[in-house]
Structure 1
C-alpha cells in the first residue's frame, strides 16, 4: 500500500464531518431556503436520506474489493483502459476540481467577512500550504490535525443553543407554502451533493483499522452531518424568516452575529471564522489527499509524496480561475452547474455503474468467498 497508516472509525467519522460541514453549513441555508422557503428543513431531511443511500452504495462497492481504493478497483471492474479513464475522471473532475473549489470558497469567505483588501491568492496559498504539510505526512497526521476541528464544532452547537431566545416558531408556518413536494425535492438537490461527498470514503476504507465497520462510519457521518445542516437551516429560518435568510450569502454567520446575552456575551462570530478556517483546511486536505493518492495509484508509483507539490500548485491555480469574478457568480455556478454535475456523475452515476458491472460480472465475489472460507 502507498499509505502505511491506519485510522480508527471515530477518526474517519470526524474526518468526514470536516469534509462535509465547513462549506455546507455556510452556503446551504441560503440556497435551500431560496427554493423551499420555510419548508427548507424538509429538503434537508430528504437530502439526508439520499446521502445515506449514497453512503450505502459506496461502502457496498468498496467491501467487494477489500484493501483497494476506488482508483484501484475501478480497473478490476471495467478493465485497465476504462478503469484508468474512470480513475483520471475522479482525480481531475472531482478531487482536484472540488478541492480547488473549496479553496476558492475558503478564500472568498475570509475576504468577504474579514479582510476585503487582501488578495484572495494569499488565503489560497496559505490554506494549501498547511494542507500540503498534513497530506505529505500521511493520513494519520491529517486525522490528528482534524481533532482541532471537533471541539470547535461542539462550541458552534453551544452557540446555536444560545440563539434560541431570538427564535420565532411562527416563521415555520404555513407548511408547504411554496408548493407541495416539488419545491422541497428540488431544493434537496444542493445539500445532497454536499452529503454525497461521502464518496471520498472509498479512498480511505482500506486504511481503516477495522474495514468491516466502514458502513457504520459512512452512515453515522452522513446522519450527523444531515442533522447539523438541518439545525443550521432551522436556526436561520426561526430567527430571520425565509425572506432574509434567502437573501444573505452566509445566513449562519449573521445568526451568530446577533447573539447578545446581558450585553456581555456577544460578538461570537469568531466561532464561525475558526470553524471555517480549521474545517476548510481539513476539507481541502481530504480532497488533496485523495488527488495525490489516486494519481500515484493510477501512475503505478511507489510513493505519493513527490506529487504533493505539483498537485498543490494545481489547486491554487485552478482556484484562481474558478467560479467567476465575485461571490455571487460563485454561488450561482455551484448551485446550477457544480451541484447537478457532481451529484449525478461522481456521487451516484459512476459508483452505481461500478457496482452494477461488478455484480453482473461477479467481480470481487470470489475474493470475498475465499476470505470467508478462510
Structure 2
C-alpha cells in the first residue's frame, strides 16, 4: 500500500536513485577525459544537477504534488498528456532495462561467474516486483536503513585505505582545458538528472512544497560520496589505472585492510552495493509502473507490474547483450536521452504553467 513519505526519506530515495550505478559507471568515463582533474568534473555536474532539481521542484510545487501527467493534461490537453506519457513510459522502460543490465553484468563479472544471465535476470526481477508491490513507503523505509549503513562503511573504507592514500597522485591540478572538463561532466550530469524521478514520486510526498530541498539534499549527498570514491581511487592507483579497469571503485575496496588481521573486505562492500542497486532498480520499476498508471489512467497498476517487468527483462536480455555497446551508450548516448526527458520535459512543464497563468490573467483583465 502506498502511503506518504517524508522529506528525509524522499531525499534518501534520490541518493539510491543515482549512486549505485554512478559509482560503477562514472569513474572510468570521467577519468578518460579529466584524469586527475576528475573532481572538478563532479563539481560541475553537481551544479548542473542542482539546477535540474530546482526545475523539477518548481513543477512539483506548481502542481502541489498532483500526478504529473494528469497535471500536464489539465494545463494542455489529454492528447498531449497521453503522447508525453507514452514517450516517458518508453524512456523509463529503457532506463530500467539498462539498470538491470548493469546490475547483471557486475554480478556476472565479479560474483556469480558461471550463473546464466537469464537466471540472474529472473531472480532480480522477481525480488524487485515483490518490492514494488509493497509500495513506495515500504521501499523508502528499507532504503533509509541502507543509507544509514554509510555511517559504518565510509569510515571503515577510509580507515582501511589510510596507508595507501598518496595525495601526489592528484597532481598536477587544473591541467585540463574547460572543453575536456565539460566533456567529462556531461555523463555525470546525465546521472544527476535522474532526480527527475520525483515527478512521478510527487503524489506520495508528504510535503510536495519541499521538492527542491529534497532534490538538493539528495544530490549533495551523492556528490559527496562520488567525490569520496573517485578521489580515493585516484590517490591509491592514479588516473592511468582507473582508465584501464572496469570497476575502479571496487578495485580500491579490494585492498582495504585493517592491520594484519582484517583484510579482503571487498565481499562486504559488494554485498552492500547489491542492496543499493536492488533499491535503485526497485525505485525505477515503481516509477515505470506509476508512469504507466498515469498514461493509461488505470485505477490500480498492481495487475500490470509483472507485465512491465517482463518487458524490461526482455529488453535487458536482447538489447544489451554486449557490455561494450552498453558502455558506449553510457558514454555517448545517455546524456542526450536523459537531457530530453529529465531536463527539457520538466522545463517545458514550467513554461506551460507560466503560459497558462499569463492567459488566465489576460482573461481576468479583459473581463
Aligning the two structures, in what range does the TM-score lie when normalised by the shorter sequence? over 0.9
Give, in whole Å, the separation in 2 of the partners of 1:317 and 1:362: 44
Q: Is the 8 A contact 2:85 2:294 kept in 1?
A: no
Residues 210 and 363 (structure 1), Cα distance of their counterparts in 2 relative to 1, 3 Å cut: farther
Q: Is the 8 A contact 2:129 2:306 kept in 1?
A: yes
Asked if structure 2 preserves the Cα contact closer than 8 Å seen for 1:195 and 1:222, the reply is yes
Structure 2 CA distance for aligned equivalents of residues 273 and 173 of structure 1: 30
Q: Does 1:359 align with 2:354?
A: yes
How far apart, in 1, do the equivalents of 2:153 and 2:319 lie?
30
User: Which of 12, 15, 22 lines up with 2:13 in the alignment?
Assistant: 15
Counterpart CA distance in 1 for 2:100 and 2:321 is: 14
Q: CA deviation at 1:176?
A: 2.6
Q: Deviations over 1:186-235 (max 9, x none)?
A: 10011111111000011112211222222211110011111111111111
- Name 2:30's counterpart in structure 1: 32
| 132-141 or 97-106, which deviates more | 132-141
| TM-score (ref. length: structure 1) | 0.92
Aligned counterpart in structure 2 of residue 341 of structure 1, from 323, 337, 354: 337
Distance 2:226 2:199 in 1: 23
- Which shows bigger deviation, 136-145 or 240-249? 136-145
Call closer, same or farther: CA 1:365–1:233 in 2, change over 3 Å: farther
**Residue 97 of structure 2 contacts residue 313 of structure 2 at CA under 8 Å; is this kept in 1?**
yes
2:138 is matched with: 141
Distance 1:32 1:98 in 2: 21
Which structure 2 segments of 5+ residues have no match? 362-367
State the partner residue of 1:53: 51
Give the CA deviation at 1:290.
0.9
State the match for 1:371 in structure 2. none
Cα distance, 1:340 vs. partner? 2.7
- Give the equivalent residue in structure 1 for 2:365: none
| Separation of aligned partners in 1, 2:96 and 2:243 | 26
**How many equivalent residue pairs?**
360
What is the Cα deviation at residue 136 of structure 1? 1.1
CA-to-partner distance for each residue in 1:300-333, whole Å, 9 max, x for gaps? Answer: 21111111110111111111123342x3332122
Report the more deviating stretch, 216-225 or 260-269.
260-269
C-alpha distance in 1 between matches for 2:80 and 2:96: 24
C-alpha separation between the residues in 2 aligned to 1:191 and 1:17?
14
The runs of at least 4 aligned residues of structure 1 exceeding 4 Å deviation read: 363-366
Task: Kindly report which structure 2 residues correspond to 1:71-110, keeping only aligned pairs within 5 A, or say none.
Answer: 71-93=69-91, 95-110=92-107
After superposition, residues 85-234 of structure 1 pair within 5 angstroms as 85-93=83-91, 95-162=92-159, 163-177=161-175, 179-234=176-231
Residue pair 1:74, 1:84 contacting (<8 A) in 2 also: no
CA deviation vs aligned residue, 1:351-373 (integer Å, no higher than 9, x gap): 1122112212228999xxxxxxx
Task: Judge conservation of contact 1:77–1:363 (CA < 8 Å) in 2.
Answer: no
Question: For the Cα contact (< 8 Å) 2:60–2:209, is it kept in 1?
Answer: no
